[in-house]
Structure 1
Amino acid sequence: MKKVRLTTIMVMAFISISAMSCKDAKTENSTNSEMSTEEDHSKMNHDNSDGHHDVDKKEMAMNGDGNSQTILNDYFNLKDALVADDNAKAKELGATLATSLGKLDISKYTDAQQSELKDIMEDAIEHAEHISESDIKHQREHFKVLSKDVTDMIAITGTQVKIYEQFCPMYDGGTAWLSTKEEVRNPYYGSQMLKCGKVQREIN
């Protein structure tokens, strides 16, 4: 009987010690976790205290934003219409692009970037509006300058997709445009010289 009682006491003592150990370990882990969280939060605050807006701008430049991506989508649709020699479609898409260019939200950028974007947008809107009113020859002339404006825009806003800057040496002494596809489809000559050109760089 004494043996049984002793064994019972030992078992209870063991359970009690084990329970206390688990509780201590849990408390220690909780404390470590809280300290780690506080350190991470402190580090994050420290990292962002002086350059929080700069970090936001850097991320935006890498990923682009909704409005600039809408502009790019409208630009690519316009480019495809010119590739297809579709004057009527290009007119329609020129008007669409002019509207999306006018809606670009520049409030997130630095003062210098905002000033530059305003100039770019003003010029790009003018060329997009001309495209919405012109025959296909003049559409392509305006598309050349428009392509430069859009390229200048994404140098500031960034892009969500990989873009290929392509170049045609034949059109107007050499002219570039942007595409989401590596395969060359020339918007300046369309079916006349569909594959004239090359990829000169990738924009990520």
Structure 2
Amino acid sequence: MKMMKQNVMIAGLALVLLSATACKDGNKNEPAAPMSNEMHQESMDDMMDDKPMNEVDEMAMNNGQDAKAEAILTDYFKLKDALVADDNAKAKELGASLATTLGKLDISEYTDTQQSDLKDIVEDAVEHAEHISESDIAHQREHFKVLSKDVTDMVAITGTENTLYQQFCPMYDGGSAWLSTSKDVKNPYYGSKMLTCGKVQKEIN
């Protein structure tokens, strides 16, 4: 009887050890539990504490500004494509759209210097976009040259989430630049007359 009790105890102990080992091994393959909101917030706070103040401000600013700056670029590229296609009516429509989108850029989150620069850039760009909305194609292209400089100056401050290419035509008006999302040159100043006249001047990241 005593022997039987010992055997039962040994068997029970072996079962407990086996279960514990199996549980330990099983946990190795289980995915890590997601961080709780509190832990995530603490980690974010720690990360922010480790960054210099200007980088933190820049991160916060970019999160709020990207969408509006990218909307301006989207309208600008549509306008550029209309000029490439020699489409005066479409360019008029897109000039009006771009003027509206430019007016929606919120500059309040930028530094005082950046706000001053962006205010001047946007005012000038709106003026040229409005002229494009009511001009013949020759005048649209004249205004697009200055508009392209304004948009390039804007991107230097706001940044962009996409890779852009600054392209340059040496023949139009003593040399004129524009922005594109593609390395392929399609000239908005000459359209079908000299579609591929120009080169990539620099890449903007």
1:165·1:203 contact (CA, 8 Å) conserved in 2?
yes
SS at match of 1:195: coil
Change (3 A) 1:44 1:77: same
- 1:87-102 to structure 2, matched below 5 A, reads 87-102=88-103
1:130·1:139 contact (CA, 8 Å) conserved in 2?
yes
- 1:54-203 to structure 2, matched below 5 A, reads 54-57=58-61, 60=62, 65-203=66-204
Name the count of aligned residue pairs. 192
Between 1:83-92 and 1:39-48, the stretch displaced more is: 39-48
Q: Distance in 2 between matches of 1:52 and 1:114?
A: 18
Change (3 A) 1:81 1:54: closer
Residue identity in the other structure for 1:67: K
Is 2:1 aligned against 1:5? no
Query: Post-superposition shift, 1:64?
Result: 6.4
| 1:99-122: CA deviation from partner (whole Å, max 9, x where unpaired) | 101111222222221111111000
Q: Distance in 2 between matches of 1:203 and 1:64?
A: 18
Q: Distance in 2 between matches of 1:118 and 1:41?
A: 33
Any stretches of 5+ residues in structure 2 without a counterpart?
28-34
Tell me the percent identity: 62
Residue identity in the other structure for 1:53: D
Between 1:171-180 and 1:42-51, the stretch displaced more is: 42-51
Query: Post-superposition shift, 1:56?
Result: 2.7
Query: Post-superposition shift, 1:69?
Result: 1.1
SS at match of 2:165: strand
TM-score, normalising length: structure 1: 0.81
Change (3 A) 1:64 1:176: farther
Report the equivalent of 1:53: 57
Change (3 A) 1:41 1:56: closer
2:65·2:106 contact (CA, 8 Å) conserved in 1?
no
Change (3 A) 1:45 1:72: closer
Query: Post-superposition shift, 1:140?
Result: 0.7
Q: Distance in 2 between matches of 1:55 and 1:90?
A: 35
Any stretches of 5+ residues in structure 1 without a counterpart?
27-32
| 1:54-73: CA deviation from partner (whole Å, max 9, x where unpaired) | 3334xx29x96111111111
1:94·1:132 contact (CA, 8 Å) conserved in 2?
yes
| 1:137-187: CA deviation from partner (whole Å, max 9, x where unpaired) | 111111000000000111111112221111000011111001112111111
RMSD (CA atoms)? 3.0
Q: Distance in 2 between matches of 1:129 and 1:179?
A: 21
1:64·1:158 contact (CA, 8 Å) conserved in 2?
no
SS at match of 2:76: helix
Q: Distance in 2 between matches of 1:106 and 1:88?
A: 31
1:64·1:160 contact (CA, 8 Å) conserved in 2?
no
